[in-house]
Structure 1
Amino acid sequence: MSDTPWLTIIGMGEDGVAGLSMRSQAALAQAEVVMAPPRHLELLCNTTAQTIPWPVPFSDGIDHLETLRGQRVVVLASGDPFWFGAGSVIAQRFGADEWAAHPGPSCFALAASHLGWALERTTCLGLHAAPMARLRRHLAQGTRAIVTLRDGDAVGTLAKYLCDQGFGDSTVTVFEHLGGPQERVTNHAATTLNGTFSHPVCAAIAVAGLGNALTHASGQCDDIFQNDGQMTKRPIRAITLSTLAPKPHEHLWDIGGGSGSIALEWLLAHPSTRATCVEPREDRAANIAVNADTLGVSHRLTLVTGAAPEALPGLETPDAVFVGGGLTAALLDDVIALPARLVINAVTLEGEAWLSAAQAEHGGDLMRIEIANAKPLGRKRGWVSSYPVVQWSLSR
């Protein structure tokens, strides 16, 4: 990186210039242009630089920065710009020799130090530009989380979301203007939280309650998925996810999505996984979209309403493919040709025959899964068998 980049990203706290490091103050003193949100510009004093409020939408500000090359420019952001902030977006646009960064303490660090929480054991989420459902997979008794929020009104939205999910016993500590002279810290129960709060604001949550926590193993309860009965049930889904073996940064095709349960559990496995779900029926595709929103993973799901194999050309190449519905000989030929590991489930005799022939030709593992559940049988009980599932898996 150059010793004199034209662009400097500075993390500023609520105490303004006085709280900046000597490096940051020196960069600010030499700046010809300062771009920042209006509240940060209001904290400046005695600057001779041109000041430009960061526009909305955020991407317009990145475009405007492009026009300022050749001048000494400072961008002011909150706290640590590379933790749910603007830093990484700016760094992706400009070359490594064009910018330098001087981060300040993040709101997560300030909140944790106030509460005495170990930050490495605390979930930290940016909800200032994301739905509350991003919290869903983290909600469990005893969890601690610190979240950024869009504005003061979002504090009430957060409390309502916790109550709606069955975690109304949670304690919510609200931090306003954290680290500055107007700092205010208040503690609330989610069930009784009310009042007016001012931006910038973040909240620390000590999660408590008897809500339905998601498991971190494969095989979520069936009832967390909105469905019309067409879905891979929990025991088969657990086996299927284990065979698919999701890994960080991998992309799944879920063909014949039904309720989307396989794709959604793939996305729950790790925050970097992605999935494309192909479902021919619009009503089922709508259920998949609702389920993705509810579980907070819709930002990593691509939903394609169409029939396979016709809907497959042009989709991003997958690392893994699951076929759970609509298996045909033509579709089987197409997915076998992909450079991805395959897991295909079949319940019909025709599908079983195709998978048996494919395993004989291409190898892989062929498994028959038979499950029976105890059901009432008169005044006693008996075993009721589900349709057996034949699963073929092929690793590349």
Structure 2
Amino acid sequence: MLFTKGSHVQVETNRCLNQQHNGVECSHCVSHCPGQALILYNHQIFLDKEKCLGCGLCFSDCPTQVFGSQQWDETTIITEVKDQGARATQFFCGYHETPFLSKEEKEKGAVQIPTCLSSVSRGTWYELGLQTAVELRLDECHECPMKNCVDRMKLSVETAMEWLSASGHTPDFIYVDTAGKAQKKKKLQAVSSGLKITSRRDLFLSLVGRRQKAEPEITAKDSAAPEEMKVKKRGNYLPDWQKRLEDSYLNHFRQGGIPAFWPTIQMSTGCVNCGMCSRYCPTQALRITVEDKQCTHLFTSGHCLDCWMCMLSCPTQSITRDRHPITNPFEVKNIYKAPVAECNRCGAYTLVNEQNLCYWCEKQPTEVDLLSDVRKRLFEKKE
């Protein structure tokens, strides 16, 4: 298995929701890891490589793509299926001992990925379902040390099927729990896919575990550029598969499907336009714009991770979350609009009020109050 003992696995802890807000308490990766190789300590995720079974479940299970690898590229699976052009395609995991088709199935396509099938994201199953009928070979999973991953894989597949139905397509997925022995002929063997390999040299380097080309060192005069890049990337941790899903969903949408359930947000009149909800949103699904002295809260349901961070960060508890059927989840919707003015103290936009002070400046004590408090502390007689 490609990622056994944590080989080639990269962990970007800054993308973890627990790093963004202590109240999120996201534990997808820790609770579902079959090897118990992931540890959440002090709101930071750690990988115990010795315990890692190499299933790749964390790749698809993490909502913000904390886990990844330069060797893993699931878009190659989609490309391979398109190239085979079969009406139905069987998918084998990297542990499957007989990734072959029988003579009766030679008209089908066959793909073997170097990890557990649970590593494939919901968005990729959706894209594959648009191309072919999917047959998932689970006939050897009952003896696999990663058998607990099957339930998570099925959840991803069922979600993809729901999206296919919602976008007007008929999902065709089959779980093959038992299968006869296939004759091991080269022409019937599954094609390996899922690796980001462009040449024999890249293949050799990936096998021997050599590093990719080193990043250039940053000198003092260049130090401002990376910092600027960090600021631009901050707050947008939408996983790659979800970015692809938007294009695929919109390009293949057909009328007639039953809308799927997606996250929704409602703003109450208690909103003070403090900006905390949009600032904490990890994917910019919730954004605030100001034009002609009007603030508008914009929400894109298809970009929402359902992490509840906007609700947790709202100081006035003005956000209500739910899930509802939505025909076009990637349509940007106006969920709240109100007149604003510049705060008389800090200049930030705030809802129009008598003093025209933003939420934070209104709560902040005045200079007179601060001086009075200091005076009391300095000259107050001790009893």
Scaled to the shorter chain, the TM-score interval is under 0.3
Structure with the largest fraction of helix: 2
- TM-score, length-scaled by structure 2: 0.28
Higher RCO, Cα 8 Å, sep 6+: 2
- What is the TM-score when the length of structure 1 is the normalising length? 0.27
